[in-house]
Amino acid sequence: MTVSVETRRSRVTVYAKSTAPSLTPVKPGKTHEFTALDHSMSRHSVHLVCYYRQEPTVTMTALKESLCDVLSYYPAMTGRLVKNEGDGCGEWMVKCNDAGVRMVDARADTTLDEFLASATDEEERQLAYWEDVGSDPYLWSPYCIQFTDFKDGSMAVGISCTHFHADPTCVAVFARAWSETHRRALVTCPPFFHPWAFYPRKNPVPSSPHLSEKSTIPPPLHPPAMSSVTFAFSASSVRQCLADLQLSNLSPFDALASLLWLRISSYKSASLGTAQLTLAVDCRRRMSAPLPLGFYGNALHFFGVKADLSSGWIHIASELNRHVSGIKEDDVWSSVEWLHERSKEKAFQMYGPELTCLAWDNVPVYNAEFSPGAIPVHVGCRIGNAQGEGLVVIMAGAPGEGEEARTVIVTLPTDLTAQIYRDEAILKYGPKIMFSPNI
């Protein structure tokens, strides 16, 4: 049976591309090296989109000026990739040659509210312009910032970058630093460039059974077409979830991640058994010498969680809770050292191809206020190149919705996505569905 899909024409048009330099010239000869963690993420990209209501100081011109200002603090962002000749990690390093970041101007033929209510997954993807590295990496900007003007004067700012420059936390902290520079306020989390943060310990114990297993999985021959849907859970929906789980020590992440894991798996195969979920957790604060929030680079720890899906939702949730709270610093170091050992080899896919979940709700993302008091109306985050069984990103929800509010972005093969956003068990909690696929 063929399903004919009528695709609506996208309302987002990109009309110009330019480059933003930093305000102060970079001292010649500066370089930025990648850590083993950075190198391991080289196949992916991060896309963060923030939506703002109309404000007199939030215009494309003013934002471009403050972008140039904040770039003075981030010489690594304005640099270009060159081959790593030394014995650093990975194939590439950044030569801080002051070339600037790419900027893209776009407009959307609709108002912000209408867009948030009716935009498709494809349209949201178009708010964060991204070009893969072409034939000459030296001419390619690893960052791309898109400004989209809506009909009512609202603006969407889309920040895209390669995952091996920055993880989602780093991009969110950059957005916050940019907004503080725009308001002429003090930058609370200035960038911390410290590629030696993840150098192996004196007595390394490189071991990561989970990652070794991942590295041996061959890339899929025909990666399925993926599409996403966003569920915005309000605080009351999350509280209802937790109430249904009846366990007192569970966090909103445990509840939502386990619910989605269960529901996605039930669509993939009729019978449920033991399954594994890959979790990615930000480990800046979990190190005994905690890294500052402004640490520039990747600090995501990937590990596997096994659970018997047939035992029910409560069991899965408690398993997740046990694993996440039980992450030992030694495990983090072991997997870093394992990655460091194979840093000269080609990186493999980290988000997928098996079902992966990014636990990102402990990082504040709604604090990029370009105008005092004007927080983003919505923030979305996507990961590029996460093909396979799927990716679930759980991030903090809009502060107006309550402290426990969460935004969950589910990326699955297209036919699964069509089913998941009509799933009764999830819809029972009344999440707002946004950016569904164009069906």
The interface with another protein within residues 168-187 (CB under 8 A) comprises: none
Which one-letter DSSP state was computed for residue 431? P
139 counts as binding another protein under rule CB under 8 A:
yes
Cβ 127 to another protein shortest distance, Å: 20
Cβ-based nearer residue to another protein, 22 or 387:
22
99 binds another protein (CB under 8 A): yes
Nearer to another protein, 69 or 423 (CB): 69
Q: Which tokens is 394 given?
A: 């759980």
Residue 411 pairs in a beta bridge with 228, 391
Q: How far apart are CA 105 and CA 48, in angstroms?
A: 16
- The least CB distance from residue 128 to another protein, in Å, is 18
- Of 10, 14, 21, 439, the residue at the interface with another protein (CB under 8 A) is 21
How far, in Å, are 70, 103, 139, 282 from residue 18 at the CA level?
Answer: 17, 5, 13, 33
Q: Is 11 near another protein (CB under 8 A)?
A: no
Cis amide bond preceding 28, omega within 30:
no
Minimal distance in Å, beta carbon 142 to another protein? 13
173's CB contacts (< 8 A; 6+ apart) are 189, 191, 293, 294
In whole angstroms, the minimum distance from the beta carbon of 137 to another protein comes to 12
The nearest distance, CB 87 to another protein, in angstroms, is 23
- Torsion (CA) 267, 269, 270, 273 in degrees, nearest 10: -120
Residue 139 vs 427, nearer CB to another protein: 139
**Which one of 10, 14, 17, 240 is in contact with another protein (CB under 8 A)?**
17
**Contact flags string 58-87 toward another protein, x per CB under 8 A:** ------xx--xx----------x-------
DSSP bridge partners of 413? 226
DSSP state of 426: H
Q: Does 57 contact another protein by CB under 8 A?
A: no
How far, in Å, CA of 95 to CA of 437, rounded?
39
Residue whose C-alpha is closest to residue 44's, from 395, 302, 400, 335: 302
Q: Which ranges constitute the DSSP H helices of 235-296?
A: 235-245, 252-268
Minimum CB separation of residue 139 from another protein in Å reads: 5
Note whether 10 binds another protein by CB under 8 A: no
**Does 376 contact another protein by CB under 8 A?**
no
Query: Does 98 interact with another protein (rule: CB under 8 A)?
Result: yes
Inter-residue contact 329 to 336 (CB < 8 Å): no
3-state secondary structure of 120: strand
Span from 16-24, 228-236, 314-322, 370-378 in contact with another protein (CB under 8 A): 16-24
Rounded distance between C-alpha atoms, residue 215 and residue 231, angstroms: 31
Task: Find the binder of another protein among 88, 100, 142, 352 (CB under 8 A).
Answer: 100
Query: Rule CB under 8 A: which residues touch another protein?
Result: 16-21, 23-25, 28, 64-65, 68-69, 80, 95, 97-100, 136, 139
